[in-house]
Amino acid sequence: MPKFALSGAVRSIEPSPTFEIEAKVKEMQKNGAKVFNLNLGEPDFFTSDNVKSAALIAIVENKTRYTQVKGMPKLLEAVCEKFKSDNGLVYTPKEVIVSNGAKQILYLAIRTVCEVGDEVIVLAPYWVSYPEITKLAGGKPVIVKTDDFRFSAEAIRKAITRKTKAIVINSPNNPTSIVWTKDELEELGKLVMKYRILVISDEIYERFLFDGAKHFSFAAMAPKLKNYTITVNGVSKTYAMTGFRVGYAGGPAYIIEKMADLQSHVSSSICSISQEAAVEALSGGKELVNKMVREFDERRKLVCDDLRNLGVEFIKPEGAYYVFFKVEPHFDSMHFCEILLQDFKVALNPGESFGTPGWVRLSYTVNRDDLKEAMYRIGMMFRRG
Ligand code: PMP
Ligand code: GLU
């Protein structure tokens, strides 16, 4: 059997650790184990009936063909309307695109702007795919870390070189659940305008906010910032539609146009049925997400109370639906997650996945009874030492 050499680009990447652990959990479940799955960041709520109906009607009405590569005009209009009403951002349909999830949007964006050797600043703890997408695009991820996981413009400025092309920010953040303040975003805005750096602002958790935290869109922080920003979002989280695979972005027309050219060769249009469902989601009510936020807030308090009682250090979660806690010096984070899964049947994600060993991410996207049991088992793990 011949064995062909693989490209340097694919050899440089690791598989998505979130999906790797998920595959392990699914295998254990298939073999009959009851696993408390706090690994994947996926809402455990069902998609709303109006959205499901829109998808069904699309099939019945034979809306089953390719659409425009950038997205159906009515979906692009709905995305523009969403950016205007929710984020105070005025984009025209030429300045927006839809893709197969925010993940593919991020790939298109970074692949479009990154020249081989360009540097992309990624702030740790980072969401798993930012560095790997950068490497696939031929770029070099430059990882910036701070002690408290917040980022002043000064901390970021130190990482800027002549090769810096872009910076990825994510607020509310996965995995820390930190929400950037208006002041922090404004400071970053001044910095990127001074050094002419593109900001890829991943705002997929914008609706998941707690304790009065407020979300601000980076591009709306100053009138000229729209020229420096690609605003990334999607329906996966807000509308519990992870399987539909619809993400979208707003940005300068000349970048969006090339992202569409790239998409025309990667996936053509995205699924026509999902697009019909996304139109309904974006223009329909917000009852589901409001309900999710109320429930997640209860779970968040439950997890934080238990960690506090155990004396475990954690980052105060202000948004998203994760709690990021510290297991070192008592445990190695990889080992902690392996043993917890093997002996206690609780799946978490080690900080290594997010460029931050010593910490662990917990996704509280399971019902409260299961969450209580999982927290009890995590407590046993700590007590066992
Ligand atoms: N960005 C962040 C920060 C995420 O956590 C995720 C996880 N789904 C995504 C982007 C991608 O979302 P999707 O592709 O489902 O739209
Ligand atoms: N964003 C989710 C997570 O961080 C889903 C997994 C993924 O997209 O990698 O768990």
Q: Looking at residues 317-324, what average pLDDT do you find?
A: 98
pLDDT in tens, 18-37: 999 999 999 999 999 999 99
Is residue 360 within 8 Å of 333, Cβ to Cβ? yes
Query: What is residue 282's three-state secondary structure?
Result: helix
Last residue of a domain, one of 248, 264, 283: 283
Q: How many CB atoms lie within 10 A of CB 92?
A: 11
Indicate whether 367 belongs to any domain.
yes
Say whether both 255 and 319 belong to one domain. Answer: no
CATH number at residue 97: 3.40.640.10
Beta carbons within 8 Å of 331's beta carbon, 6+ residues apart: none
Return the residue whose CA atom lies nearest to atom 6 of ligand 2: 18
User: Is 191 within a domain?
Assistant: yes
Whether residues 39 and 68 fall in one domain: no
CA dihedral 8, 12, 16, 17 (to 10 degrees): 150
Is the CB–ligand 1 distance for residue 141 below 6 Å?
A: no
What is the CA(174)–ligand 2 centre distance, in A? Answer: 9
88 and 24 in one domain? no
Tell me which residue has its CA closest to atom 1 in ligand 2: 41
Ligand 2 centre and the CA of 61: distance in Å?
A: 33
Residues 106 and 173 both lie in one domain = yes
pLDDT at 385 over 90: no
Q: Whose C-alpha lies nearest to ligand 2, atom 2? A: 41
Domain annotation covers residue 58: no
How far apart are the CA of 41 and the centre of ligand 2, in A? 5
177 and 67 in a single domain? The answer is: yes
Parallel, antiparallel or unpaired: strands 164-170 and 96-99: unpaired
Q: Enter the tokens of residue 144.
A: 């910036």
Cβ contact 121:167 at 8 Å: yes
Domain limit, last residue, from 283, 306, 326: 283
User: Which range of residues forms the domain containing residue 343?
Assistant: 8-47+287-384
The CB of 177 under 6 Å from ligand 1? The reply is no
Asked if 212 and 90 sit in the same domain, the reply is yes
Angle subtended at Cα 149 by Cα 157 and Cα 182, rounded to the nearest 5 degrees: 70
Mutate to test the pocket of ligand 2, among 42, 204, 353 (most ligand atoms within 8 A of CB): 42
Residues 161 and 204 occupy one common structural domain? yes
Query: Alpha-carbon distance 354 to 289, whole Å?
Result: 26
Total domains in the chain come to: 2
d(Cα 342, Cα 207) in Å, to the nearest integer? 34
| Residue 198, in any domain of the structure | yes
| Residue 160: both structure tokens together | 């800027």
Q: Is residue 2 part of a domain?
A: no
For the stretch 245-304, pLDDT in tens is 999 999 999 999 999 999 999 999 999 999 999 999 999 999 999 999 999 999 999 999
Q: Is the CB of 119 under 6 A from ligand 1?
A: no
pLDDT in tens, 338-373: 999 999 999 999 999 999 999 999 999 999 999 999
Which ligand minimizes its atom distance to the CA of 320? 1
The finding on whether 231 has its CB within 6 A of some atom of ligand 1 is no
Asked whether residue 310 falls in the same domain as residue 293, the answer is yes
Residue 218 lies in a domain: yes
pTM score > 0.95 for this model? Answer: yes
Domain containing residue 312: CATH number: 3.90.1150.10
3-state secondary structure at position 168: strand
C-alpha of residue 233 to centroid of ligand 2, in Å? 14
Q: Which residue in 182, 181, 231, 227 sits closest to 202, CA to CA?
A: 231
| Same domain for 294 and 275 | no
Tell me which ligand sits closest to the C-alpha of residue 270: 1
The Cα–Cα gap between 162 and 112 comes to 19
Mutate to test the pocket of ligand 2, among 13, 14, 18 (most ligand atoms within 8 A of CB): 18
Residue 3 lies in a domain: no
Q: Which atom of ligand 1 is nearest to the CA of 104?
A: 14
Greater model confidence, 148 or 385: 148
52 in any annotated domain: no
Q: Give the ligand whose atoms come closest to the C-alpha of residue 38.
A: 2
Q: Which of the listed residues 262, 283, 304 is the one where a domain comes to its end?
A: 283
Pocket of ligand 2 from Cβ distances under 6 Å:
16, 18-19, 40-42, 103, 128, 174
Q: What is the pLDDT of residues 54-81, one digit of tens each?
A: 999 999 999 999 999 999 999 999 999 9
Residues 161 and 184 in one domain: yes
Quote the ligand 1 centre to 102 CA distance (angstroms). Answer: 5
Ligand 2 centroid from CA 39, angstroms: 9
How many angstroms is it from 330 CA to the middle of ligand 1? 31
Looking at the fold, whether 221 and 73 belong to one and the same domain comes out as: yes
What is the distance between the terminal CA atoms of the chain, rounded to a whole angstrom? Answer: 49
Q: Same structural domain for residues 184 and 302?
A: no
d(CA 164, CA 114): 10
